Amino acid sequence: MTPRATPMCPDDRRTALVTATLPLLLEHGRAVTTKQIAEAAGVAEGTIFRVFESKEELVAATLEHAFDPEPFLADLRGIDPDQPLRDLVSALVKALQDRFRGIFELMTAVGMSGPPPARQHLANHRELAARIMADLLAPYADELAVPVEELVRITRLLTFSGSHPHISEGRTLTTDEIVSTVLDGLRAKDS
C-alpha cells in the first residue's frame, strides 16, 4: 500500500506530479501509466485524479511545463557578461544546446512534431532570447565581422541544426565546433 501523501494545496500537488512525470515521459513516452507516476511522486494513484481530470491532462501540463521558456531565459540572463568573447559565445551555445536537446529528446519520446498548442506563440520568447544574447555580445561588436544581431541569428541556427540528431544525421556538433565555426569560419588559416 502506498503511504499517505503529505498534504499539499492543489497547485503544489499539481507541480509535484508534473515534476515526477517529466522523467517518466522521457523514459516511457505517452505509454507512461498513472501507476508509474503515482509511485514516482510517492502518492496513491487516486491522488492524481484529485488535481487532474485525466492522465492526458497531466501529460499536457507536463509538456507545457517542459516548454516553458522562462528557465531558459533565466539561464541566459545568468551568463557572466565579463568574460572573453569566445567564452561568452561558448556559454551562449551551451545554454542553447541544453535547451534544444532537452526539447528534442522530449518531443521524440512523446511523438511530437512541434510545440504544444499552448506554446505556438514562442516567437516572442525567441525574440526576447535573441535580445538578451545581443545585449551580452554588444560590447564585442567591434570585434565582429557582422552585426551582433546577425551573429546571434547564425549562432542560434547553427546550434539548433547542429544539436538536432535528425537534422545533423546523427552527428551532432560540439559546443567548440559551433563556436569555432561561428567565430573562426571554416577557411584554412593560410588561405
Write down which residue in 32, 48, 65 finishes a domain: 65
Question: Is residue 56 domain-shared with residue 76, that is, in the same domain?
Answer: no
Does residue 92 lie in a domain region?
yes
Residue 115: pLDDT over 80: no
What local confidence, expressed as pLDDT, does residue 44 receive?
92
Percentage of residues in the chain having pLDDT higher than 70: 90
Say how many domains are in the chain: 2
Question: Is residue 53 domain-shared with residue 83, that is, in the same domain?
Answer: no
Question: Is residue 107 domain-shared with residue 160, that is, in the same domain?
Answer: yes
Residue 174: pLDDT over 80: yes
CATH code of the domain in which 35 resides:
1.10.10.60
Question: Is residue 123 domain-shared with residue 172, that is, in the same domain?
Answer: yes
Q: How far is the C-alpha of 106 from the C-alpha of 26, rounded, in Å?
A: 6
In the structure grid, which three cell numbers stand for residue 162, read together? 547542429
Contacts of 109 (CB under 8 A, 6+ apart): 25, 26, 27, 28, 29
Does residue 191 lie in a domain region?
no
> In degrees, to the nearest 5, what angle opens at C-alpha 135 toward C-alphas 104 and 83?
85
Domain housing 57: 10-65
Looking at per-residue pLDDT, the higher value among 119 and 123 belongs to: 123
Question: Is residue 151 domain-shared with residue 110, that is, in the same domain?
Answer: yes
**pLDDT tens, residue by residue, 123-146:** 688 899 999 999 999 999 999 999
Q: How far is the C-alpha of 9 from the C-alpha of 34, rounded, in Å?
A: 20
**Cβ 21 vs Cβ 62: under 8 Å:** yes
Looking at per-residue pLDDT, the higher value among 1 and 75 belongs to: 75
Write down which residue in 65, 88, 111 finishes a domain: 65
What local confidence, expressed as pLDDT, does residue 56 receive?
95
**pLDDT tens, residue by residue, 40-76:** 999 999 999 999 999 999 999 999 999 999 999 999 9
Residue 83: pLDDT over 60: yes
Does residue 110 lie in a domain region?
yes
What local confidence, expressed as pLDDT, does residue 4 receive?
60
Residue 120: pLDDT over 60: no
Question: Is residue 84 domain-shared with residue 47, that is, in the same domain?
Answer: no
Does residue 30 lie in a domain region?
yes
Residue 121: pLDDT over 70: no
Question: Is residue 56 domain-shared with residue 117, that is, in the same domain?
Answer: no
Does residue 22 lie in a domain region?
yes
Question: Is residue 107 domain-shared with residue 119, that is, in the same domain?
Answer: yes
Write down which residue in 46, 65, 84 finishes a domain: 65
Average pLDDT of 26-30? 96
Q: C-alpha 145: how far from its chain's center?
A: 29
